[in-house]
Copies of this chain bind each other. A is one copy, B any other.
Amino acid sequence: MLQVIDLHEFLKDERVRCAVKVGSIIRYTMAEFLQNKGFIEIPPVIISPVTDPLAHPIFNGEISYYDNKYYLTRSMIFHKQMALLAFDKIFCFSPNIRLELAEKARTGRHLFEFTQLDLEVKGASREEVMQLAEEMFIEILKRVKECCKPELEKLGRELKIPSRPFKRISFEEAYNEYGKEYEEILSSEAKEPFWIIDFPKWKREFYDREFEDREGWLADMDLIYPEGFGEALSGGEREYKYERIVKRIQDSKMDPKEYFFYLEIAKRGLPPSAGFGIGIERLTRYICGLRDIKYTTPFPKIPGKYCI
């Protein structure tokens, strides 16, 4: 079976050349922004006995080594929390492997391998990391406009710097107004990025913190791109107390045994924190105004296809 992309043609495509250049500047600007704020960059974790369960269906990526079972990283959420045992503010350029269902190829925004800038701050509130995200987002847009003028011109993309603070809408409000397709509708109508906050438990993974005084609702958020580009970033405050984590795993109808290694560490203490992860290829796609995410990387991994 042949791999699906004609790589010679693909790598000649101006969209790829421009978008990969933009992605390179995005990565560098992120690192610079966070280093200047005193964040420590930690090495990525690619295989581990624990990884993000994710809130949508996916194939497991498993390997065995000396009879020990490892998962390919779907996100570094648990490792971020654990790294805060040593540092106050950390980030990572974290490659994620998510073996998506083939139908996700149609969304234009799924790859089965991508990089997430993942960060976590000890003792921070959701509000603080939202401020940080807005500031970083604007810094990136400014830098790309400055360093990638020819690329944006070739792509026919005009970028407007959004004003802060970004607008906010609660999940409840959004869902009541627009129903199931709330994200798509709101993203398509929007001219600037905006936040959706306070997701319900049934929509999210067990690690986002549930409000003590509002059962079933979470201290978390998504950043949504305008012009129909959809989700940018997911984050929130975290559950960090052992008993609460176990309860939340059980509420999600999962088996705490699957998180044994993580729970053993949580039992001895994890710090409270907040953080987020932002997909670099999706950010590149938005900044470049490309409808298909495949142009943002030289070796796109298209759901369901055989890709080099």
CB within 8 Å of B: which residues of A?
A: 1-3, 7-8, 11-12, 16-17, 20-21, 23-24, 27-28, 31-32, 35, 40-50, 59, 61-63, 65-66, 68, 72, 79, 82-83, 85-87, 93, 95, 97, 99, 102, 112-115, 261-262, 264-265, 268-269, 280-281, 297-299, 301, 304-308
A85 and B8 form a contact (CB under 8 A)? yes
Residues of the B chain whose Cβ atoms lie less than 8 Å from the Cβ of A21: 40
B114 and A280 contacting across the interface, CB-CB below 8 Å: no
Q: Which of B20, B65, B102, B269 contacts A42 (CB 8 A)?
A: B20
Q: Which residues of B contact A63 (CB under 8 A)?
A: 61-63, 72
Contacts of A11 in B (CB 8 A): 82-83, 85-86
**Chain B nearest Cβ from A306, distance in angstroms:** 4
Q: Is the CB of B16 within 8 A of A86?
A: yes
Shortest Cβ gap from A39 to chain B (Å)? 8
| C-alpha spacing A112/B65, complex, angstroms | 10
* CB-based closest 9 A-B pairs: A11-B86, A11-B85, A24-B41, A68-B306, A24-B40, A43-B297, A46-B95, A65-B99, A83-B298
Chain B residue at minimum C-beta to C-beta distance from A26: B41
Complex A-B: 8 CB contacts under 8 Å: A11-B86, A20-B40, A28-B32, A43-B280, A46-B97, A61-B63, A62-B63, A63-B72
Is B42 a contact partner of A298 (Cβ separation < 8 A)?
yes
Given contacts A43-B299, A49-B306, 17 further A-B contacts (CB under 8 A): A1-B68, A8-B265, A17-B86, A23-B41, A24-B41, A28-B32, A31-B31, A42-B298, A43-B114, A47-B301, A48-B307, A48-B308, A49-B308, A50-B308, A65-B99, A83-B298, A261-B308
Cα–Cα, bound, A307→B35 (Å): 28
Q: How far is the CB of A52 from chain B (nearest CB, A)?
A: 14
Q: Which residues of chain B come closer than 8 Å to A305, judged between CB atoms?
A: 66
CB distance from A303 to the nearest CB of B (A): 9
Q: Which residue of B lies closest to A63 (CB)?
A: B61
Name the residue on B nearest A41 (C-beta): B24
